[in-house]
A and B are shown apart, each in its own frame.
Chain A
Amino acid sequence: MIRTIAKPQAKKVTGCGECRSTCQSACKTSCTVGNQSCERVTREEKIERR
């Protein structure tokens, strides 16, 4: 049996560049882009929830 744990949401935007430069976010040596969330989608979802 296969159970889906997580799948990407349909993205509303791509390439807007609003996300932060990965290296600035914490580590400065070994960055992981995938641990960030899309900042624009996150912000828009917060607004929608209000």
Chain B
Amino acid sequence: MVHVFHYHDHHYLYDTGSGALHECDEKTARHLAGEPVEFTDEELKATLADIEGLKEAGLLYAEEPKAAPVKSHELKAMCIHICHDCNLRCKYCFADEGAYHAAREMMSLATAKQAIDFLIANSGARKILEVDFFGGEPLMNLDVIKETVAYAKAEAAKRGKRFLFTTTTNGLLLNDDAIAFLNAEMENVVLSLDGRPEIHDAVRKTVSGKGSFDAVIDKIKKFVRIRGDKNYYVRGTFTAKNLDFSKDVLYLADQGFASLSVEPVVTDIPELQIRQEHLPAIEAEYEKLCDEYICREAEGKGFSFFHFHIDLEGGPCLAKRVSACGAGNEYLSVVPNGDLYPCHQFAGDKKWRMGSVYEGITAPEIRSLFASSSLFTREKCGACFAKFICSGGCSANNYHYNDDINKPYEMTCAMMKKRIECAMHVLAERKSREN
């Protein structure tokens, strides 16, 4: 399939079978989009020669892969809910302000160690294992994180494996001790900050109901300054209240944060929920951000926006592209009492309880459902140009919006497609500057 799209006065062809991206003149683009176009004889000859040449090279109308590689059940990653409590009360929190619809609790060291043992025992031949310390607010249980990391490293060394640790924090408890530990041990740290102070404060409240921006901004800046060139993301959420979210991304960039991600909210709160009628404004906003992103990059003042990355040259293999995050199969989530769920977005929903780190997998049918799910089980994805880039969307989002992990939610699809087109344009502009 060839996806033809236009970005300002640029015309692009993305070949889904080969993964190649081409730029062309407007007439060629319209011709390949099936529109009637009047070519001169010379133009027609040149265009057809280009098309045939690319077809022969396997870079246009290339055949798409049809079969999903067989998935193993070897675990590679675990989201450890080290703390089901939070020191903020963000209105849009999918995790019920940290409690996940249950009592607020911390994970004990014994359960965290058991989770590490479970991950290692079920990892088969995998050498690299990942653990994400998640919450609530993980730093509320920092001592257990520290001891768990030490334990995991020791156990991995005995078995020739290696752990990559990550965490997400709202920044409130980032003191010198926490900063030193996270910078020493965490492969990646995600810091939650929504953007402009008034936007952040409207939803990210302290327990007493006060905006939290002033309480976290200096701490997050200090953390990032000390972190140097190690991986981090300052990660925000936009809602129906700030559809002009490009201002928030740029505000964060102007604060000196070089690695940013701002995501659409997942909520059923009416005044915050992203709805179909917001889509044109959101798409326009991504374009506005994309234009400024390219300008800043060209001026040597660029930053990194998660969704504007695309690797069309050294990207993931087919196995990864069709299986996505691996939730419910090679990636599991464990809550403070040791219960297992397909991922953090299912945590606390008893329907999706898969077992526990103490008793093992007791609901193999859930694991089978996720293991058998792939891009090819998501019927709606078949005709979509973005399928080998997005992998069929987030299973949890699909379930929460459409009650089926294999049924993508059209709103997230539309935003994804827009972001991918922007990312391709960013790539083309960068290549153009390099040449």
Residues of A within 8 A of B19 (CB): 7-8
Encode B47-58 as 1/0 by CB contact (under 8 A) with A.
100110010000
**Which of the segments B103-111, B217-225, B414-422 contacts the partner chain?**
B414-422
A11 at the B interface (CB under 8 A): yes
A4 touches B420 (CB 8 A): no
B346 at the A interface (CB under 8 A): no
A17-B330, A24-B130, A28-B190 known; A1-B324 Cβ under 8 A: no
A23 touches B331 (CB 8 A): yes
B250 at the A interface (CB under 8 A): no
Residues of A within 8 A of B24 (CB): 1-3
Within 8 A of A (CB), among B162-200: 164, 166, 168, 188, 190
B22 touches A2 (CB 8 A): yes
Encode A11-32 as 1/0 by CB contact (under 8 A) with B.
1011111111111111111111
Which one of B50, B59, B190, B317 has the greatest number of beta carbons of chain A within 10 Å?
Answer: B317
A26 touches B316 (CB 8 A): no
B254 at the A interface (CB under 8 A): no
B264 touches A30 (CB 8 A): yes
Residues of A within 8 A of B22 (CB): 2-5
B394 touches A35 (CB 8 A): no
A26 touches B394 (CB 8 A): no
B312 touches A8 (CB 8 A): yes
**Alpha-carbon distance between A39 and B19 when the two chains are bound, in angstroms:** 18
B261 at the A interface (CB under 8 A): yes
B233 touches A2 (CB 8 A): no
When C-beta atoms are compared, the residue in chain B nearest to A13 turns out to be: B317
With beta carbons under 8 angstroms apart, the residue of A11, A29, A41, A42 that contacts B397 is: A29
A13-B317, A27-B261 known; A36-B311 Cβ under 8 A: yes
Residues of B within 8 A of A11 (CB): 317
B130 touches A34 (CB 8 A): no
Query: With contacts A7-B19, A17-B330, A33-B325 known, what are 6 further pairs, Cβ within 8 A?
Result: A1-B25, A2-B50, A3-B23, A7-B313, A18-B127, A30-B412
A interface residue numbers (CB < 8 A to B): 1-9, 11, 13-38, 41-42, 45
B interface residue numbers (CB < 8 A to A): 12-13, 18-25, 28, 46-47, 50-51, 54, 59, 69, 72, 74, 76-77, 79, 126-128, 130, 132, 164, 166, 168, 188, 190, 233, 235, 261, 263-264, 266, 306-307, 309-321, 324-327, 330-331, 343-345, 388-391, 394, 397, 412, 415-416, 419-420, 423-424, 427-428, 431
